[in-house]
């Protein structure tokens, strides 16, 4: 047992050792777009679709950078045009793929849970990220995941600032595309489009939800602050008005209801980092249910300070406290699934969304009206 513990501590220290540094200048949307790794191993992984066991593979769809994108789709038997259902869009964590949704227990609930509407059940969509550079330490600095550091998520696509054109975040565009594809079947209740996510996917899910007015609510697990965490040299403060400089980021859906379930002892000390995020959401008038859990899964009032106190989550993980945080982070809180889904059910949109948006890509996808 001692040998296993020593190995895990060493592994944790390797994963969370010195991280990447941003050499590029910060812009109005934070960092430059993440760089895709086209190395042999990364290319091999990226070319292969997820397995989507028990579901359906969507894709490939080619994004604006020329990369093939995939998603997993899980629909209950009663889904159809005569019975539009809520849809939950799940974003996987870093170093994981869309298939990791099977570890959450959500796939077992698609025909059982009540997310509102006329009948029980929901559609589950799990898009897959890319193998890119991350502003996370160590081995996680280059892995599958989502680019929540380049924060140009305007629903209208590309924008121009100071004469420079900033294209839409390609990960956000990929999520747009797959949601649009499923929505086009007529199976989706447009008032009940929800986001969930884990770790890096949770950060992206909240960033995405706060910029898409057709997203009704988001409930996520163990997210770093999508605006400022770890080694990110271009942190930003979210605002609900026009940004006054590169240090601020305007959101297009700042009032979206959020639920963040997280650990009092978490990887890299992200508990205080998430506390900072919650405070900033409330500062702009947003709503967030901030739920902190202890090791048994019970709700507690505050973070475990032995696992880190730095709001940028720079705590040392190469010790027993860091190992505890890593192990907690890797475990989805299945016991909280019902409460997370109940939160989503309580927050449908008040009216049918009528927003049109574009998902620019090589394949020339046109704007789809919602």
- At 319 the pLDDT is 67
Confidence of residue 9 (pLDDT cuts 50, 70, 90): very low
| Long-range Cβ contact pairs of 249-252 (< 8 A, separation 24 or more) | 249/29, 249/30, 249/151, 251/210, 251/211, 251/284, 252/153, 252/154, 252/155, 252/210, 252/211, 252/212, 252/213
Determine the average pLDDT of the residues in 355-364: 43
pLDDT digit string (tens) for 322-343? Answer: 788 889 999 999 999 999 999 9
- Which pLDDT score is estimated for 13? 36
Q: Does pLDDT of 18 surpass 70?
A: no
Q: Is the peptide bond before 209 cis (omega within 30 degrees of 0)?
A: no
Predicted confidence at residue 47, as pLDDT, reads 64
Q: How confident is the model at residue 141 (pLDDT cuts 50, 70, 90)?
A: confident
Mean pLDDT of 155-164: 94
Backbone angles phi, psi at 166, to 5 degrees: -110, 110
For 278, half-sphere exposure in the C-beta direction (CA atoms, 13 angstrom radius) is 20
Average pLDDT over residues 83-106: 97
| Rounded percentage of the chain residues whose pLDDT exceeds 90 | 75
Report the alpha-carbon distance of residue 229 to residue 131 in Å, rounded: 20
Bridge partners, 143 (sequence order): 132
Residue pointed to by tokens 């949601």 = 179
Summary mean pLDDT of the chain: 88
Residue 318 has pLDDT above 80, yes or no: no
- The residue length of the chain stands at 370
pLDDT band at 162 (very low <50, low <70, confident <90, very high): very high
- Judge contact between 262 and 222, C-beta under 8 A: yes
Instruction: State pLDDT tens for residues 237-287.
Output: 999 999 999 999 999 999 999 999 999 999 888 999 999 999 999 999 999
Reported as a pLDDT band with limits 50, 70 and 90, residue 317 is: low
Q: Measured between alpha carbons, how far is 150 from 148 in angstroms, rounded to an integer? A: 6
Query: Which tokens hold the place of 178?
Result: 């797959």
Distance, CA of 141 to CA of 133 (rounded, Å) = 6
Question: How far is Cα 106 from Cα 90, in angstroms, rounded to an integer?
Answer: 9
pLDDT given for residue 316 in this prediction = 60
Torsion of CA 322, 324, 328, 329, to 10 degrees: 10
Task: Judge contact between 238 and 278, C-beta under 8 A.
Answer: no
What pLDDT is recorded for position 134? Answer: 92
**DSSP-based three-state secondary structure for 148:** coil
Between the two ends of the chain, the Cα-to-Cα distance in Å is 55
Query: In the chain, what are the domains?
Result: 33-350 (3.40.50.1820)
In terms of Cα–Cα distance, which of 122, 139, 115 is closest to 188? 122
């Amino acid at each position: 047992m001692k040998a296993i513990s020593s190995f895990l501590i060493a592994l944790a220290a390797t994963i969370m050792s010195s991280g990447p540094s941003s050499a590029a200048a910060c812009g109005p949307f934070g960092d430059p777009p993440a760089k895709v790794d086209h190395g042999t191993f990364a290319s091999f992984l990226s070319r292969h679709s997820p397995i989507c066991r028990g579901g359906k593979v969507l894709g490939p769809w080619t994004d604006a950078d020329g990369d093939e994108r995939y998603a997993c789709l899980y629909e209950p038997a009663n889904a159809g045009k005569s019975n539009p259902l809520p849809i939950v869009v799940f974003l996987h964590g870093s170093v994981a793929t869309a298939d990791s949704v099977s570890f959450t227990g959500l796939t077992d609930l698609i025909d059982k849970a009540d997310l509102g509407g006329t009948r029980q059940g929901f559609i589950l969509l799990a898009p897959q990220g890319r193998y890119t550079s991350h502003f996370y330490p160590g081995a996680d600095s280059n892995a599958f995941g989502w680019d929540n550091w380049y924060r140009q998520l305007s629903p209208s696509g590309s924008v121009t600032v100071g004469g420079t054109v900033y294209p839409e975040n390609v990960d956000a565009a990929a999520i747009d595309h797959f949601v649009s594809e499923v929505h086009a079947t007529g199976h989706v209740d447009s008032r009940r489009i929800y986001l969930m996510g884990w770790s890096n996917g949770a950060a992206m899910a909240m960033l995405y939800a706060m910029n898409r007015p057709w997203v009704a609510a988001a409930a996520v697990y163990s997210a770093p602050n999508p605006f400022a965490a770890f080694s990110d040299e271009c942190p930003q403060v979210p605002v609900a008005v026009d940004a006054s400089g590169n240090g601020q980021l305007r959101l297009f859906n700042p009032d979206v209801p959020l639920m963040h379930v997280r650990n009092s002892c978490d990887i890299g000390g992200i508990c205080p980092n998430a506390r900072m995020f919650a405070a900033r959401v409330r500062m702009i008038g947003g709503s967030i249910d901030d739920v902190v859990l202890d090791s048994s899964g019970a709700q507690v009032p505050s973070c475990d300070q032995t696992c880190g106190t730095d709001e940028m989550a720079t705590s040392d993980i190469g010790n027993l406290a860091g190992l505890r945080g890593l192990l907690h982070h890797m475990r989805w809180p299945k016991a909280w699934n019902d409460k997370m889904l109940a939160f989503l059910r309580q927050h449908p949109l008040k009216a049918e969304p009528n927003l049109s948006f574009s998902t620019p890509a090589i394949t020339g996808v046109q704007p789809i009206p919602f």
